[in-house]
């Protein structure tokens, strides 16, 4: 049985791949006939006088993915033999069903195009109206290029930019695979046109090569390296191309003054050194608030347009790069041809996806708030259901509290008393020298307070890099001949060592705060001169860690049991910004900033985190051994420091409780607890309640968001349901013609 299905899969695969030329010499003709066959229509679609289609290639691609999934599940034992046989014996049914799904999906896309088209005619400018009318495909035969032009005119800039971004990312990923494969071939095959006989020596010109790398750097930057070969009895040296020689020895796993790099050609080697320095924290730009986002949306160039520019730029300046780009492009396009597709086909698929998204958003975006009555009804429902689930012993509570890939914790109303709470933290990594000092002191069995004093004293030797919030590592330099050594557009005519004064937006020298930047930092922390008042800045741009902690404490202030939600909000927001600037724990940073999760979820019992981390967290949450710490404030928003010899200095803040002690009530002798609607179940970020609105971050707000999401999904579903139940069945609006005989030949092959 497995053999039969595997045969089917091979037939399917061959159906969507170019047939190799035959030995009889008529391969080209055979390939043309195959292409003509595979581009036959299995369905033609019309909606609102627009045409679309489904081809044999598209249908077979969909079936192949479907068939492979069945084959895999059966092979792994997930499917019973009876289910497996039923699939194999009913492939004709699956072909028919899938063909209908593809055709109706095309009709739905045409519906969405029509909606946007009419919207522009009703609300657009004269120029926009003129553009959509000229690009309209109403009453025309289906043409891929025309459909692209039409969709580009009806899509708003936001969704057009998203379509191109997604398309470019997909194309770049595919292109990079071919590029990597070709570069590997060049290295392994030692393809060179230069003679490897009678070599006297290699001559290296490394003047313009980057000589300093941070620990953990993925690869060496060979821009600017010139390698020449001097042959015996030949006066002039011959310059080599990048593909002629190999470069080995780069190792950034440890800090070192000299990392020896070896350049080899024809069995002859020459060496030069680079330096590996301590890694500096590099973080993305601090996310902007929605009201700060730029109104103007830039629609990126298409991948193939950018690639052509890169190829032209490399031509005549970097022959090795030019060669690699050209070959990778050829292989990518060859892969398109093997399935009778093109750049345009894949671009159109992304455009169609965004057309649907924009139309569906029109039906969901207006739904932004839930009423107080709706929140109360849902609150009561959740409380009843969760209490019943807990009574019968389900693990929904534990999974919600500990899951890292869901937002269930925001909806928890009734809890057992497991003591869950949330913290966020900043860590300053320590040096190996400090670890040794701390370990030696620890071995002397001295008191913890004395050990901490030694730690603080030694910390005076640590420098901290402060992130520049204006630095954007993803920014593209607009200067085609940039004078920044760190820039990808650098042409070797600027300064040897960049001082951060260049025009490049992505210069690494701008990642960290300097005095000039600090003068404009008042929107970021409360004191614009928090760093440079009586603070020594080290030559490498770092600032003493204890000075930074002092400034942080001064900026955060304290909270107590009487502090309002607004006060606690402010201190947590400040802590988040400090974490952005300082934390050297990238996992904690991304948890805090990017995902919106509550940081770390812990309980009263010991977790998998280091013991010192756990102890301080429990001291903040429940006062356990609180006398061992200098805790600032009380309750949510309180913070303190702990020291770990293996990781560094931790500044930790309590940011919320699963069972809010100030807003919960005991149920059934204290076995269960129910949070009130104003309980703060997760304080990643929340805002004080505005008049007539629910405070963000409270249980009521989280339930409100859940209701809005459900309403939006329902509105989108209603729009689609109306189309499929009414318009798709109305032959006056939608016409779909199926050509089942087009794929009968394949079915005959399967059955044989």
Q: Tell me: the pLDDT tens digits for 500-548?
A: 666 676 666 666 665 544 444 444 444 444 444 555 566 666 777 877 7
Q: Write out pLDDT tens, residues 236-259.
A: 888 887 778 888 898 888 888 899
Element holding 429 (H helix, E strand):
strand 421-429
Give pLDDT, residue 27. Answer: 44
Output 694 or 588, whichever has higher pLDDT: 694
Reference 716, options 49, 106, 112, 162; nearest CA is 112
Quick one: average pLDDT of 98-115? 94
Is the pLDDT score of 685 beyond 70?
Answer: no
Domain ends where: 463, 482, 510?
Answer: 510
Q: What percent of the chain has pLDDT over 70?
A: 74
Instruction: For residues 23 and 134, state if they share a domain.
Output: yes
Q: Do 678 and 665 touch, CB atoms closer than 8 A?
A: no
- Looking at the fold, whether 42 and 118 belong to one and the same domain comes out as yes
Q: Does 126 score more than 90 pLDDT? A: yes
Most confident of 66-75, 392-401, 497-506: 66-75
Q: Report whether pLDDT(688) > 60.
A: no
- Look up tokens 């010899």; give the residue: 645
Question: Is residue 8 domain-shared with residue 136, that is, in the same domain?
Answer: yes
Q: Are residues 200 and 130 in the same domain?
A: no
With a CB cutoff of 8 Å and minimum separation 6, the contacts of 291 are none
CA distance 424 to 652: 6
**Same structural domain, 9 and 136:** yes
Residues 93 and 207 in one domain: no
- Per the model's pLDDT, the better-predicted residue between 724 and 24 turns out to be 724
Indicate the burial class of 571 (C-beta count within 10 angstroms; 0-12, 13-18, 19 or more): buried
Mean pLDDT of the chain: 78
Domain with 247, as residue range(s), is 191-286
Pick the residue with more confidence: 733 or 301?
A: 301
**What's CA 227's distance to the chain center, in Å?**
38
Task: Please say if the pLDDT value at position 171 is more than 70.
Answer: yes
d(CA 287, CA 154): 30
Q: Are residues 116 and 242 in the same domain?
A: no
Residues 87 and 206 grouped into a single domain: no
* 7 and 103 share one domain: yes
Poorest-pLDDT segment among 23-32, 75-84, 399-408, 438-447: 23-32
How many CB atoms within 10 Å of residue 457? Answer: 11
- Indicate the range of 328-332, 426-430, 671-675, 678-682 predicted with least confidence: 678-682
Higher-confidence residue of 330 and 315: namely: 330
Q: Give the side-chain half-sphere CA count within 13 A for 748.
A: 6
Indicate whether 336 belongs to any domain.
Answer: no
**91 and 214 belong to one structural domain:** no
pLDDT of residue 713: 86
Mean pLDDT of 228-232: 91
Bridge-based pairing state of the strands 226-231 and 639-644: unpaired
Residue 273 belongs to some domain of the structure: yes
Domain end (from 248, 264, 286) = 286
pLDDT for position 440: 77
- What is the CA 398 to chain-centroid distance, rounded? 28
The CATH number linked to 256 is 2.60.40.3630
- For the chain, the farthest-separated pair of C-alpha atoms sits apart, in whole angstroms, at 98
> Is 50 exceeded by the pLDDT of residue 196?
yes
Q: Which residue has the tokens 């009419």?
A: 118
Look at residue 157 and tell me if it is in a domain: no
Based on the structure, what is the number of domains in the chain? Answer: 3
Looking at mean pLDDT, say which of 182-196, 369-383, 400-414, 448-462 comes out highest.
Answer: 369-383
In a domain, 84, yes or no: yes
Q: Are residues 128 and 195 in the same domain?
A: no
Position 112 in a domain? yes
- What's the pLDDT band for 752 if we cut at 50, 70, 90? low
Q: What is the mean pLDDT of residues 275-300?
A: 65
Residue 278 has pLDDT above 80, yes or no: no
419-437 burial, b at 16+ Cβ within 10 Å, e below that, comes to: bbbbbbbbbbbbbeebbeb
Most confident of 79-88, 111-120, 190-199, 666-675: 111-120
* Domain-located, residue 497: yes
Is 368 a domain residue?
no
Q: Is residue 592 a contact partner of residue 424, using CB atoms and an 8 Å limit?
A: yes
pLDDT at residue 130 is higher than 50: yes
- 126 located within any domain: yes
Identify the pLDDT of residue 346.
95
Q: How far is CA 328 from CA 301, 596, 692, in A?
A: 19, 39, 59
Q: Which residues are CB-neighbours of 240 under 8 A, at least 6 positions away?
A: 192, 194, 227, 228, 229, 265
Of 510, 540, 573, the position where a domain reaches its end is 510
Lowest mean pLDDT among 65-79, 318-332, 580-594, 647-661: 580-594
Asked whether residue 124 falls in the same domain as residue 246, the answer is no
CA distances from 492 to 209, 247, 481, 497, 501 (A): 9, 21, 9, 11, 16
| pLDDT score for 597 | 57
């Amino acid at each position: 049985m497995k053999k039969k299905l595997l045969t089917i899969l091979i037939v399917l695969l061959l159906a969507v791949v170019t047939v190799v030329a035959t030995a009889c010499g008529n391969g080209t003709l055979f390939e043309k006939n195959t292409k003509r066959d595979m581009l036959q229509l299995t369905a033609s679609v019309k909606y609102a006088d627009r045409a679309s289609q489904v081809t044999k290639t598209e249908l077979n691609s969909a079936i192949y993915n479907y068939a492979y999934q069945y084959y895999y599940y059966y092979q792994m034992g997930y499917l019973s033999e009876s289910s497996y046989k039923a699939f194999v014996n009913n492939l004709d049914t699956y072909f028919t069903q899938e063909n209908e799904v593809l055709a109706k999906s095309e009709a739905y896309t045409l519906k969405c195009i029509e909606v946007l088209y009419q919207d522009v005619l009703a609300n657009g400018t004269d120029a926009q109206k003129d553009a959509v009318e000229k690009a309209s495909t109403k009453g025309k035969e289906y043409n891929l290029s025309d459909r692209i032009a039409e969709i580009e005119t009806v899509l708003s800039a936001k969704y057009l930019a998203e379509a191109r971004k997604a398309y470019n990312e997909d194309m770049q990923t595919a292109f990079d695979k071919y590029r990597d494969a070709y570069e590997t071939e060049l290295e392994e095959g030692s393809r060179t046109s230069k003679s490897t006989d009678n070599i006297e020596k290699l001559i290296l010109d490394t003047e313009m090569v980057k000589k300093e790398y941070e620990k953990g750097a993925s690869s060496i930057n060979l821009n600017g390296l010139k390698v020449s070969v001097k042959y015996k009895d030949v006066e002039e040296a011959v310059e080599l191309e990048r593909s002629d020689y190999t470069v080995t020895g780069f190792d950034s796993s440890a800090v070192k003054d000299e990392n020896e790099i070896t350049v080899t050609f024809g069995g002859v080697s020459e060496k030069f050194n680079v330096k590996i320095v301590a890694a500096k924290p590099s973080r993305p730009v601090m996310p902007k608030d929605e009201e700060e986002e730029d109104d103007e949306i830039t629609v990126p160039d298409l991948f193939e347009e950018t690639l052509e520019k890169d190829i032209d730029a490399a031509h005549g300046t970097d022959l090795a790069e030019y060669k690699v780009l050209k070959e990778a492009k050829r292989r990518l396009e060859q892969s398109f041809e093997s399935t009778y597709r093109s750049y345009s086909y894949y671009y159109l698929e992304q455009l169609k996806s965004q057309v649907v998204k924009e139309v569906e958003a029109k039906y969901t975006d207006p739904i932004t708030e839930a009423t107080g009555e709706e929140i109360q009804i849902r609150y009561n429902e959740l409380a009843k259901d969760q209490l019943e689930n807990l009574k019968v012993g389900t693990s929904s509570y534990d999974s919600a509290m500990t899951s890292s890939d869901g937002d269930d914790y925001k909806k928890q109303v009734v809890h057992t008393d497991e003591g869950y709470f949330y913290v966020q933290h900043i860590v300053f990594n320590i040096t190996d020298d400090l670890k040794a000092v701390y370990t030696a002191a620890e071995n002397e069995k001295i008191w913890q307070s004395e050990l901490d004093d030694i730690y603080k004293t030694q910390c005076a030797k640590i420098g901290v890099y402060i992130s520049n919030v204006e630095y954007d590592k993803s920014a593209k330099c607009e200067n085609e001949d940039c004078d920044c050594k760190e820039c990808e557009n650098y042409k070797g005519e600027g300064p040897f060592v960049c001082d951060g004064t260049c025009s490049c937006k992505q210069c690494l020298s701008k990642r960290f705060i300097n005095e000039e930047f600090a003068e404009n930092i008042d929107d970021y922390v409360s004191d614009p001169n928090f760093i440079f008042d009586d603070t020594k800045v080290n030559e490498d741009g770092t600032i003493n860690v204890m000075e930074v902690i002092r400034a942080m404490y001064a900026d955060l202030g304290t909270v107590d049991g009487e502090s309002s939600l607004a006060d606690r909000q402010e201190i947590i927001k400040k802590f988040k910004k400090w974490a952005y600037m300082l934390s050297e724990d990238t996992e904690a940073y991304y948890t805090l900033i990017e995902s919106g999760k509550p940081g770390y979820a812990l309980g009263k019992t010991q977790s998998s985190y280091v013991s010192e981390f756990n102890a301080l967290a429990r001291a903040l949450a429940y006062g356990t051994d609180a006398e061992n710490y200098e805790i600032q404030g009380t309750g949510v928003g309180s913070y303190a420091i702990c020291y770990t010899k293996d990781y560094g200095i931790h500044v930790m803040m309590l940011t919320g409780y699963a069972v809010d002690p100030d807003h919960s009530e005991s149920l059934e002798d204290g076995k269960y607890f129910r949070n009130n609607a104003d309980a703060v179940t997760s304080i990643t970020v929340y805002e004080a309640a505005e008049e007539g609105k629910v405070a963000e971050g409270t249980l009521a707000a989280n339930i409100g968001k859940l209701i809005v999401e459900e309403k939006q999904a329902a509105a989108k579903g209603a729009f689609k349901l109306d189309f499929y139940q009414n318009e798709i069945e109305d032959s006056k609006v939608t016409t779909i013609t199926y050509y089942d005989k087009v794929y009968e030949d394949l079915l005959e092959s399967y059955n044989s």
